[in-house]
Amino acid sequence: MICDADFVLLDGNLPTETIRIAVEIADFYGTKVWYEPTDTAKMRKIFDANVADKIDITSPNFNEFNVYCQLINRKLPEEILTEWKTNEMFDYISENADAYLRTLETLIVTVGPKGSIVLKRDSDGITRHLLYAPLEPDAVVSASGAGDW
């Protein structure tokens, strides 16, 4: 039940209207919402449903994050988009954390084999983390969902 849950996790493959209704119900019960866009085109569904300001956590890959930035009118600089230098990405995203966390509590940007960038806002301010990807495995069993770009 949504009223008893800590989170509602919504996938971008859901219809926009379903996303809207689920977010409205979660908001009514004070349940946090985590949106996983799954695709660059689906990042915009929370904006199309007019519920982007009610999303607590989102975990886009870097390409989906680029779309998110465009949707909130904070386009990424060309050098960040083309050079893919992890520390520069982290520095730029960290410096602009207030804009990215305007309505979000947590933003997790996955950058494939480079790791993840995590921004979290709480009563003490904003924490920023750069989590490097683990070492390469000995053998790949399945690439499904691994190293999402």
Q: Domain segments of the chain: what residues?
A: 2-131
3-class SS of residue 61: strand
pTM for the whole thing?
0.85
Q: Are strands 32-36 and 57-58 parallel, antiparallel or unpaired?
A: parallel
Q: Are strands 106-110 and 116-122 parallel, antiparallel or unpaired?
A: antiparallel
Fold adopted by 2-131: UDP-N-acetylmuramoyl-L-alanine:D-glutamate ligase (3.40.1190)
* Per-residue pLDDT at 131: 85
Residue 116's φ and ψ, nearest 5 degrees, are: -140, 150
- ∠ at Cα 70 (86, 95), nearest 5°? 45
Summarised one tens digit per residue, pLDDT across range 38-92 is 999 999 999 999 999 999 999 999 999 999 999 999 998 888 888 777 788 888 8
Which of residues 100 and 1 earns the better pLDDT score?
100
